[in-house]
Amino acid sequence: MGIIHPSTKDFDQLLQTNEVVLVDFWATWCGPCLMLAPIIEEISKKYEGKAVVAKVDVDVERALAEHYQIMSIPTVLVFKKGELIGREIGAAAASVYETMIDNAL
Amino acid sequence: MEPIMTDIAIIGAGPAGLSAAINAIARGKSTRVFSTKNNYLERAARVDNYLGMESISGAALMDSFRQHAKSLGASLETGQIITILPVSDYFMLNFKGTIVQAKTVLLAIGAAKQKLLLGEKQFLGQGVSYCATCDGMMYRGKKAIVYGLADEAVEEANHLQQIGVNVTFIAAQQRPVDLASAVQFISGAVTAIEGEKIVQAVRVNETPIETDVLFILRNVIAPTALCKGLSIKDGFIAVNRDMETNIPGIFACGDCSGKPLQIAKAVGEGLIAAQQASKYIDDQKK
C-alpha cells in the first residue's frame, strides 16, 4: 500500500478501519521533516500489512494539524483502534518509531 | 540535489573540535566543522597552563588553533546545527535548514552553563521551540515571543516577522539596531512559561504576556535536544575512553564530555575522537 496521504475528512475513517496507524505531520519547508522522510518510508515498507503509515502536510490539512495540536514539526502520532497512544515530537531514529508501533501491535 | 557525504561532521570549533579536525585530515578523512560564533576560550584573558604557550591570551590561542586547522584545509562553517538524526549507517544534520550527511558525528560543543526556564521542558514541542526556521511557518498570523540569548536571534526574529508572524523580541540588552522595526521589543528576561497542555503565556520580568509560541534561541542547544537518545552522565555527554557515546558513530570530546574543562584535555580528546571516528569509518568498509 505504501504511504498514504489522508485528507481531514477521511482521517477519522482511516483510524476507524485500521488497527494501528502512524501519522507523520510535516511540511515542505521543514528541514527536519525532510530528514525524517526516508526513515518514514523505510518504516512503511517494514510494517507493510501490519500498520498503516500516513503523512499529513500541515499546510494543506491545517484543520487536522490544529485538531491534534501539532505545534512543532515533524510530529509523529501513533493510533491504536482510533485512539492516540503515542506522540513523538522532532525527528528521531527509526527505532523510536518502531518501538511505538511494536507497542501498539 | 543529493548532498555530499562527509566522513566526519565536527560540531564545535574550540580546542577539541579543531584538534579533531587536524587529526581527521591527517588520517585522510573529509571533514566539515560547524560552529556558532560563540567561543569561551576566545574570551579568556590569559591562559597559563597550556604546555609550550606561556601566558597567552585565549583569543591569540584560538587564532593559532584556527590558522593551523585552516592551513591543513579544514572547512570551518559558521552556523548552528539544530538536529542530528541517525539513519541506518550514516547521519543527517540540519545545518541552518540545509541537510548535511556524514558517516560519523563528532560533538565538541563545549559546556555551556545553561539553566532551563521554568516550564521549558514541559512545553517543548507544545509551544516551546528552539528553531524559528523549522517551526516559524506554523505560526503565521499568530503571536510569537523570541527570547534572544544568542547572536543569531535577531536574524531569526526578523525572519519570523517577514513570513507573517507577530513577533515580540526579548533580550537583556537594549533594542538591537538591526531588529526589524515591525518587531516589538522588551528589555528583560523570560522567567516562566505558562499554559495548560500548550503554551498560553510567558512571564517577562514577572509580567505574563500572551503568546502562541516561545522561541528560545541559545548559542548552545542541549545535547539531548540536538540528538535524541544521547546518554548523559552527571550533566555531560557520557563517553568511554575512546570518546564513543552510546550511539554508534557519534563521538564526543572536550568540555561537553566532562571535567576537567581544560584546553589540554580537550585537545587530547579531540585527537582520540578523530582517530576513533576514522577507525569506525574504516571498519564499516570491511
Residue contact B125–A89, C-beta within 8 A: yes
How far is it, in rounded angstroms, from Cα A34 to Cα A68? Answer: 21
Give yes or no for B5 touching A (CB within 8 A).
no
The per-residue pLDDT for A29 is 87
Mean pLDDT in residue range B131-155 = 90
Mean pLDDT of chain B: 92
Residue contact B229–A93, C-beta within 8 A: yes
Give yes or no for B197 touching A (CB within 8 A).
yes
The full set of domains in chain B, from first to last, is: 5-112+221-285 (3.50.50.60), 120-218 (3.50.50.60)
Give the pTM.
Answer: 0.84
- Closest by Cα among B15, B5, B114, B102 to B58: B15
Residue contact B85–A93, C-beta within 8 A: yes
The per-residue pLDDT for B113 is 66
Q: Quick check: B133 pLDDT over 50?
A: yes
State which residue of chain B sits closest to A94, comparing Cα positions.
Answer: B87
Within 8 A by CB and 6+ apart from B238, the residues are: B231, B232, B245, B246
Give yes or no for B124 touching A (CB within 8 A).
yes
Confidence of residue B1 (pLDDT cuts 50, 70, 90): very low
- Write out pLDDT tens, residues A40-83: 999 999 999 999 999 999 999 999 999 999 998 999 999 999 99
Can you tell me whether residue A51 is helix, strand or coil? coil
Which residue, among A35, A42, A97, A100, would best test binding to B if mutated, counting the most B CBs under 10 Å from its CB? Answer: A35
Residue contact A69–B86, C-beta within 8 A: no
Q: Is A30 a catalytic residue?
A: yes
Q: Which three cell numbers stand for residue A19?
A: 488497527
Looking at CA atoms only, how far is residue B205 from chain A in angstroms?
A: 25
What residue segments make up the domains of chain A, in order of their start?
Answer: 8-104
Looking at CA atoms only, how far is residue B47 from chain A in angstroms?
A: 40
Can you tell me whether residue A1 is helix, strand or coil? coil
Task: Quickly list DSSP for chain B.
Answer: -PPPEEEEEEE--SHHHHHHHHHHHHTT--EEEEE-S--TGGG-S-B--STT-TTB-HHHHHHHHHHHHHHTT--EEES-EEEEEEETTEEEEEETTEEEEEEEEEE----------BTHHHHBTTTEES-HHHHGGGGTTSEEEEEEESTTHHHHHHHHHHTT-EEEEEESSSPPTTS-TTSEEEES-EEEEEESSSEEEEEETTEEEE-SEEEEEESS--HHHHSTT--EETTEE---TT-B-SSTTEEE-GGGG-S---HHHHHHHHHHHHHHHHHHHHHHH-
State the pairing for strand pair B232-233/B236-237: antiparallel
Residue contact B134–A93, C-beta within 8 A: no
Confidence of residue B130 (pLDDT cuts 50, 70, 90): confident
Q: Quick check: B218 pLDDT over 80?
A: yes
- Write out pLDDT tens, residues B46-90: 999 999 998 999 999 999 999 999 999 999 999 889 889 998 889
Looking at CA atoms only, how far is residue A3 from chain B in angstroms?
A: 19
Looking at CA atoms only, how far is residue B124 from chain A in angstroms?
A: 9
- How many contacts, defined by CB atoms under 8 Å, are there between A and B? 80
ipTM exceeding cut-off 0.85 for this assembly = no
Cβ(B234)–Cβ(B200) under 8 Å? Answer: no
Q: Which of these CATH numbers, 3.40.30.10, 3.30.2310.20, 3.30.420.40, 3.90.180.10, describes A8-104? A: 3.40.30.10
- Which among A58, A72, A91 has the least Cβ separation from residue B85? A91
Which one from A33, A40, A58, A70 is the annotated catalytic residue?
A: A33
Can you tell me whether residue A24 is helix, strand or coil? strand
